[in-house]
Structure 1
Amino acid sequence: MMSKKLLFLLLGGSMLSAQTINETNAAGKTGINTDLPTRTLTIQNPPADQGKPVLRLADLPSYSQNVNSVMDSNLGGNAQSSTSYFDYKPLVVDEVGDVYLGLPITNNTSIISLTMTQSRGDWVKEFNTGIDYNKYAVALMSYSFKLPDATAGDKIVMLTSGGNTPNKKDGDKIFDRIVPATVNLYNKDNKWFIEADYDSLNSEEFTYNEPKSVSRVARGTWYINLLVAPRELIHFTELEYDQGGTSTGTGRSDATYNTNLDALLNKISHN
C-alpha cells in the first residue's frame, strides 16, 4: 500500500485531502513508475535511469515500409494505399514533458530560379523581387549571364569595355577586357532587391570584322538561383566588417561583429 501524506484543505466547510484530489484527477489515466499519472499516459523516470531517455522504441518499421501499403486500417492505422512523406507529423515536447502533435513535416526552404530577360545590356541596376525582407531570408546560390544571339549572320555580340574606361597599357586607347560579374542581394523598402552587372563592360552587337562599325546595345539574360526560407525557421544574421584598407582582417576584433556572431552561434548550439 502506497504511503500517503495528507494535506487537508478547507473547501466550502468540508475537509478534502490533496491525495483524494490527485486520485480523482488520475482516474482513467495510466502511470508507469508513478501512482498518480497526470496525463492519459505518464511515464516517470526512476532514479536508476536518471540522465537516460525515458522512452525507447525498438524494431520500428522504416517509413518506406508504409508506402503503398494499408497498415491495420481497420484498427485506425494507415488507410491510404499510397502515403506521402508529408503526411507524417512529428511529436513535439515542451519543457514540462507534455507531448503534442506537431505540424506536418514540410520543407519550408525553397529555391527560386529567376530568369531576367531583355536586360539593358548586361546591367540590372535594381530589381525588386517582391520578397519581404523582414519575413524571409534569401541567399544567392548561383548566377550566370547569357549574351543574346546575333540578329544577322554578319553580326557578333560580345562584352566590351565602356568608352570611358581607362587603359593603363595603351594610355588613352580603349582596350577590351573581361571582369567578373557582380551580383548582390540587398534590402530596400523592406524588400529583397537584386543588382547585377559586369562592371565597366557593355553587351553590344557589332558587324563582324568591321572594328569601327556602329554598335547597338544587346539585351542579355540573367539566370539567378535564390534560396528562400522563413526567418523564423532558420538562424540568419548579417555581419559587417571594416577592412580598413588592408588585405587581411579578424572578424572578432570588431565588437559589433563579435556580438552578432556569438548571438548566432549560441542559437545554433542550444538547438
Structure 2
Amino acid sequence: MMSKKLLFLLLGGGMLSAQTINETNAAGKTAGKTGINTDLPTRTLTIQNPPADQGKPVLRLADLPSYSQNVNSVMDSNLGGNAQSSTSYFDYKPLVVDEVGDVYLGLPITNNTSIISLTMTQSRGDWVKEFNTGIDYNKYAVALMSYSFKLPDATAGDKIVMLTSGGNTPNKKDGDKIFDRIVPATVNLYNKDNKWFIEADYNSLNPEEFTYNEPKSVSREVRGTWYINLLVAPRELIHFTELEYDQGGTSTGTGRSDATYNTNLDALLNKISHN
C-alpha cells in the first residue's frame, strides 16, 4: 500500500511531523473537501507541500491589515462579518496546530503574567520583618523585579534624615581611624504557611532624624517607605523552579557538582527544550 506525506507546515520556526495517509480509506472520504497539491484531501482544506518546497512554509499571507483595521467594516457587515466597534486585541483568537497538522481555533491571546507595584508605608524604621502578600505559594510563581527605600522628609528646615548605625553596632577601628558600618538593603521572598512573604531591611541601620550640624543632638527614629515590584504568574503557565546550593564556606561554586541542584536544573531545562 502506497502512502503519502501530508501537510508539512512550518510554524514558528518548527517543522511539524508528517501525517501518514491511508490512501484506501481516504479515497472514499474526499467528498466536499478541497486539496492543494494532493488528490486525497482528508480535511475541508488540505495542503500538501510539493517536494521542491520541503522545509518551506506552505502558506504566506501578504499585505495583511492590522487587527484593528477590519473592525466595523462596511464590506464585512454586508457579508455577515465583523460589525463590532471594539478594537480590543483580545477579541481575536489564534489558530493552533497539532502535531499532525490539523488546525483549530485557539483561546484568546492573553498575557497571564502580571506586575504588582507594592508600596509599604509606615514601616518600623526600615524594617519589615515579615509581610504576607496573600499570594498563594503553590498556585503562583513570584519574582522580585526591583525595590527601593525612601526616607521621609525632615520635619523642619534645620533637620536631616539619614540611615545611621544602631547604638549597639560596633565600628571597625584601625589605629586612629574609625569606620562606620555600611550595608546594602536585604529584600527576600520566601514561603510561609503556603503564602508568599516579604522581608526587607537595612541590617543594623536605622533611619533617624537629627538636627543639622549639631553632633550631640538627640535623634528620633522615623518611618520610611518601601517600593517593591513583583512579577507574578500562574505556575501552570510558566516553568519555575527553586535551586539551592551550599558554597561550603568558599567564594566559588559549580552548581552541577550538587546532585539535587543538577537534577532540578536538568528537569527545568528539559521542559524548556521540548516546548
TM-score range, shorter chain: 0.7 to 0.9
**Would you say how many aligned residue pairs link Structure 1 and Structure 2?**
271
Q: RMSD in angstroms over aligned alpha carbons?
A: 8.7
Alignment partners' CA distance in 1, 2:13 and 2:234? 56
How far residue 29 of structure 1 moved from its aligned partner, in angstroms, is 3.5
Offset from partner CA, 1:154-175 (integer Å, 9 cap, x none): 3221111112212121799996
In structure 2, what is the equivalent of residue 47 of structure 1? 51
- Cα pair distance change 1:122/1:188, threshold 3 Å: same
Offset from partner CA, 1:3-40 (integer Å, 9 cap, x none): 99999999999999999999999893434455554433
Alignment partners' CA distance in 2, 1:241 and 1:54? 48
Q: Is the 8 A contact 2:128 2:199 kept in 1?
A: yes
How far residue 130 of structure 1 moved from its aligned partner, in angstroms, is 1.0
Q: Which 10-residue stretch deviates more, 63-72 or 18-27?
A: 18-27
Alignment partners' CA distance in 1, 2:11 and 2:135? 59
In structure 2, what is the equivalent of residue 145 of structure 1? 149
TM-score, length-scaled by structure 2: 0.78
Aligned to 1:71, the other structure's residue is in SS state helix
Q: Is the 8 A contact 1:166 1:174 kept in 2?
A: no
How far residue 126 of structure 1 moved from its aligned partner, in angstroms, is 0.7
- Cα pair distance change 1:213/1:248, threshold 3 Å: same
TM-score, length-scaled by structure 1: 0.79
How far residue 62 of structure 1 moved from its aligned partner, in angstroms, is 4.2
State the identity %.
Answer: 98
Q: Is the 8 A contact 1:31 1:42 kept in 2?
A: yes
Q: Which 10-residue stretch deviates more, 218-227 or 43-52?
A: 43-52
Offset from partner CA, 1:71-96 (integer Å, 9 cap, x none): 63322433245522222211112234
- Cα pair distance change 1:203/1:244, threshold 3 Å: same
Q: Which 10-residue stretch deviates more, 40-49 or 200-209?
A: 40-49
- Cα pair distance change 1:239/1:22, threshold 3 Å: closer
- Cα pair distance change 1:118/1:172, threshold 3 Å: farther
How far residue 69 of structure 1 moved from its aligned partner, in angstroms, is 5.6
Q: Which 10-residue stretch deviates more, 5-14 or 67-76?
A: 5-14
Alignment partners' CA distance in 2, 1:201 and 1:157? 13
Where does the alignment leave 5 or more consecutive residues of structure 2 unmatched? none
Q: Which is higher, the Rg of structure 1 or of structure 2?
A: 1
Where does the alignment leave 5 or more consecutive residues of structure 1 unmatched? none
Q: Is the 8 A contact 2:186 2:202 kept in 1?
A: yes
- Cα pair distance change 1:29/1:38, threshold 3 Å: same
- Cα pair distance change 1:173/1:269, threshold 3 Å: same
Alignment partners' CA distance in 1, 2:186 and 2:58? 54
- Cα pair distance change 1:70/1:227, threshold 3 Å: farther
- Cα pair distance change 1:212/1:189, threshold 3 Å: same
Alignment partners' CA distance in 1, 2:254 and 2:82? 56
Q: Which 10-residue stretch deviates more, 173-182 or 189-198?
A: 173-182
Q: Is the 8 A contact 1:91 1:100 kept in 2?
A: yes
Aligned to 2:116, the other structure's residue is in SS state strand
- Cα pair distance change 1:153/1:233, threshold 3 Å: same
Query: Does 1:6 find its partner at 2:6?
Result: yes
